[in-house]
């Protein structure tokens, strides 16, 4: 059996027809039909997952509400202890889960393992955080008064995740939400539901072993209609959604319409500025992984290279040479660098984008195309391509989730920064330079307008310790590290009077 997929599925509890609606370990039969999950690696049906309907969704939310009443009162460090155990359970299945992610989503096995490592890392982070959900103490203007703030759990957190990080993004949200005392309802991408089923098995086992309520972690399966159950449901105070800007606008409007909170992590159109002062070896390697890693399907993928005119020809020829060495094929075969796109629809979008940018004047330096023949039967393998283009082209302004890299030239750093910022998205950015003035200007208020700005590192592959997200059409949300946890809690300001009088604030007199 090739690559040990059958064994991995077995170890992860994936069967040919999985239930998809679940609270904890309680899998609910919905009678709603199945969603089939095909591997883009070989086009094979992996397994099916039953869809969630309105009735089963109601059951999930009721269980979640009930579980919240208990979970919110478990001391935060004890909640952290549960998350510690989840982290250990993930360590035990790292290779199996990494393999499933790779097979179901198409990223390389190395990147699949990296994704599970992100989950383990966020568990460790959340465990520490569980003793640090700090509020501030303020000095009251009134004598014998005390003011402070507390952070309380907010309730049910809806998590809508994308296919490209089918498990890590859930864990960034839910592991933080869990130590915050929230309970989670997860709607994974309908393009990678089995990775989510596997995670549900893992977390349910830990919850059960600890005698905790089933509704702490739930799973619902379906397309945007199930997403709408969450975004329109006022019992869900926070919806955290990762995906396209189109989806994010719909979720943001629905949640905003009921004055709920949304945390949005949407499209990127990330650029690397390659200065004349760059270490070109690092610049080329950073650009290469950024552009072709995960077949260009990270929201942090490098889509634009803004290169100083004096090094343009050299960068161009070295990159073209590097692309010539890329080996494209089954992501589970570790000799391959680039796996498939998620599905044939994504291939079509990729081809359309190349066609359109060429019409706008783009010149292919490394031509794109779809691969056919042995090993490429799924029809999802494409050639990473490089196109010389101008920043204002409509396709260059647009995030195409595929390995298309646009090259452009600049002469002054101000111009390069204007190109970098001159797109609707604002997720990740980088400058390659050994010049400290250039680096600091890029990081300054007059520099990159993105949520992530790096020096001598590519645009993708952020560590979990920082807050992850970006501005403008990226949606403004911050997930994962730093103080992102605050989005998952409600802040309460408390003023306590221990005097024998009742002085009013601002010195107002009100005597009768
Ligand atoms: C995403 O593509 O949605 O920074 C997340 C990175 C990864 C996460 C990407 N750690 O590339």
pLDDT over threshold 90, residue 137: yes
Residues 351-372: pLDDT tens digits? Answer: 999 999 999 999 999 999 999 9
Distance (Å, whole) CA 318 – CA 299:
25
Report the atom number in ligand 1 closest to the C-alpha of 242: 3
Catalytic residue among 111, 265, 473, 479: 265
Do 9 and 46 touch, CB atoms closer than 8 A?
yes
CB 275: neighbour CB atoms within 10 A?
22
Report the atom number in ligand 1 closest to the C-alpha of 464: 10
Per-residue pLDDT, averaged over 209-232, amounts to 97
For residue 8 the two structure tokens come to: 């991995």
> For residue 257, how far is its CA from the centre of ligand 1 (angstroms)?
29
Q: What is the full DSSP assignment across 168-184?
A: HHHHHHHHHHHHTT-EE
Distance (Å, whole) CA 479 – CA 510:
46
pLDDT over threshold 90, residue 345: yes
Quickly state the pLDDT bin for 499 (edges 50, 70, 90): very high
> For residue 462, how far is its CA from the centre of ligand 1 (angstroms)?
6
Lay out the sheet containing 404-410: strands in order across.
363-366, 385-388, 404-410, 302-308, 270-274, 428-432, 452-455
Q: What is the rounded average pLDDT for all residues in the chain?
A: 97
ipTM of the complex: 0.97
Indicate whether residue 165 lines ligand 1 (CB < 6 A). Answer: yes
Distance of CA 217 to the CA centre of its chain: 19
Global pTM value: 0.97
Indicate whether residue 342 lines ligand 1 (CB < 6 A). Answer: no
CA distances (Å), origin 273, targets 121, 416, 468: 30, 7, 21
Strand-pair category, 261-265 with 363-366:
unpaired
- 280, burial (CB in 10 Å: exposed 0-12, middle 13-18, buried 19+): middle
Per-residue pLDDT, averaged over 378-398, amounts to 98
Q: Is 99 helix (H, G, I), strand (E, B) or coil?
A: helix
Indicate whether residue 302 lines ligand 1 (CB < 6 A). Answer: no
Indicate whether residue 173 lines ligand 1 (CB < 6 A). Answer: no
Indicate whether residue 277 lines ligand 1 (CB < 6 A). Answer: no
pLDDT over threshold 90, residue 1: no
pLDDT over threshold 80, residue 417: yes
Report the atom number in ligand 1 closest to the C-alpha of 460: 11
Please state, for a pLDDT cut of 90, what percent of the chain lies above it. Answer: 99
Lay out the sheet containing 34-38: strands in order across.
17-18, 45-50, 34-38
**What is the per-residue pLDDT for 304?**
98
Distance (Å, whole) CA 382 – CA 403:
8
Do 214 and 25 touch, CB atoms closer than 8 A?
yes
CA distances (Å), origin 326, targets 8, 301, 347, 404, 491: 28, 17, 19, 14, 50
Q: Tell the residue nearest (CA) to atom 7 of ligand 1.
A: 461
Distance (Å, whole) CA 492 – CA 69:
18
The vertex-107 CA angle with 481 and 469, nearest 5°, equals 25
pLDDT over threshold 90, residue 399: yes
CB 70: neighbour CB atoms within 10 A?
13
Indicate whether residue 161 lines ligand 1 (CB < 6 A). Answer: no
> For residue 216, how far is its CA from the centre of ligand 1 (angstroms)?
26
Indicate whether residue 170 lines ligand 1 (CB < 6 A). Answer: no
Which residues, at least 6 apart from 74, have a Cβ–Cβ distance to it below 8 Å? Answer: 181
Indicate whether residue 401 lines ligand 1 (CB < 6 A). Answer: no
Q: Considering Cα of 34, then 298, then 404, then 378, what sign does the dihedral take?
A: negative
**What is the per-residue pLDDT for 400?**
98
Residues 43-83: pLDDT tens digits? Answer: 999 999 999 999 999 999 999 999 999 999 999 999 999 99
Indicate whether residue 23 lines ligand 1 (CB < 6 A). Answer: no
Phi/psi of residue 364, each to 5°?
-75, 120
Q: Which of 188, 294, 462, 478 to mutate to test the pocket of ligand 1 (most atoms within 8 A of CB)?
A: 462
Residues 152-206: pLDDT tens digits? Answer: 999 999 999 999 999 999 999 999 999 999 999 999 999 999 999 999 999 999 9
pLDDT over threshold 80, residue 134: yes
Per DSSP, the chain holds a count of helices (H) and strands (E) of 14, 24
Quickly state the pLDDT bin for 2 (edges 50, 70, 90): confident
Indicate whether residue 266 lines ligand 1 (CB < 6 A). Answer: no
Q: What is the Cβ-side half-sphere exposure of residue 370, based on CA atoms within 13 angstroms?
A: 17
Q: Tell the residue nearest (CA) to atom 3 of ligand 1.
A: 299
User: Has 265 been annotated as catalytic?
Assistant: yes
Q: Which of 460, 464, 465 to mutate to test the pocket of ligand 1 (most atoms within 8 A of CB)?
A: 460
Report the atom number in ligand 1 closest to the C-alpha of 468: 4
> For residue 145, how far is its CA from the centre of ligand 1 (angstroms)?
46
Phi/psi of residue 472, each to 5°?
55, -130
């Amino acid at each position: 059996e090739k690559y040990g997929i059958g064994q991995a599925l077995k170890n992860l509890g994936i069967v040919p027809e999985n239930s998809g609606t679940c609270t904890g370990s309680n899998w609910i039969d919905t009678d709603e039909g199945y969603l089939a999950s095909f591997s883009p690696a070989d086009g094979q049906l992996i397994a099916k997952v039953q869809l969630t309907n309105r009735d089963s969704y109601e059951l999930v939310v009721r269980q979640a509400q009930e579980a919240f009443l208990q979970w919110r009162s478990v001391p935060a460090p004890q909640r952290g202890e549960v998350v510690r155990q989840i982290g250990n359970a993930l360590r035990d299945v790292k290779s199996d889960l990494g393999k499933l992610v790779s097979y179901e989503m198409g990223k390389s096995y190395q990147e699949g393992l990296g994704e599970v490592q992100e989950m383990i890392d966020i568990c460790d982070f959340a465990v520490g955080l569980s003793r640090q959900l700090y509020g501030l103490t303020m000095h009251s203007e009134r004598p014998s008064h005390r003011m402070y703030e507390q952070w309380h759990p907010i309730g049910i957190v809806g998590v809508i995740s994308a296919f490209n990080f089918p498990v890590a993004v859930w864990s960034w949200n839910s592991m933080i939400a869990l130590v915050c005392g929230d309970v989670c309802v997860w709607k994974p991408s309908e393009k990678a539901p089995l990775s989510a089923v596997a995670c549900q098995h893992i977390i349910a086992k830990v919850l059960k072993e600890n005698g905790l309520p089933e509704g702490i972690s739930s799973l619902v399966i379906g397309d945007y209609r199930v997403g709408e159950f969450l975004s329109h449901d006022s019992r869900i105070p926070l919806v955290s959604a990762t995906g396209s800007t189109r989806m994010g606008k719909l979720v943001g409007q629905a949640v905003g319409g009921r004055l709920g909170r949304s945390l949005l992590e949407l499209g990127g159109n990330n650029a690397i500025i390659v200065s004349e002062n760059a270490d070109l070896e690092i610049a080329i390697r950073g650009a290469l992984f950024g552009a072709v890693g995960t077949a260009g399907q990270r929201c942090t993928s490098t889509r634009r290279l803004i290169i100083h005119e004096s090094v343009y020809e050299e960068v161009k020829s070295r990159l073209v040479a590097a692309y010539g060495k890329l080996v494209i094929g089954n992501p589970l075969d570790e000799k391959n660098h680039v796996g498939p796109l998620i599905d044939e629809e994504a291939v079509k979008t990729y081809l359309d984008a190349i066609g359109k940018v060429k019409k706008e004047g783009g010149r292919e330096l490394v031509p794109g195309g779809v691969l056919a023949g042995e090993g490429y039967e799924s029809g999802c393998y494409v050639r990473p391509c490089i196109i010389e283009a101008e920043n204002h082209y409509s396709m260059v302004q647009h995030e195409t989730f595929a390995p298309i890299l646009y090259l452009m030239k600049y002469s002054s750093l101000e111009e390069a920064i204007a190109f970098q910022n001159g797109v609707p998205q604002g997720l990740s950015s980088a400058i390659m330079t050994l010049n400290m003035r250039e680096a600091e200007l890029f990081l300054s208020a007059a520099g990159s307008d993105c949520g992530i700005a790096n020096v001598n590192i590519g645009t993708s592959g952020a560590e979990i310790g920082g807050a992850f997200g970006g501005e403008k059409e990226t949606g403004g949300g911050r997930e994962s590290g730093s103080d992102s946890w605050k989005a998952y809690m409600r802040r309460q300001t408390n003023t306590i009077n221990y005097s024998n009088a009742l002085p009013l604030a601002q010195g107002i007199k009100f005597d009768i």
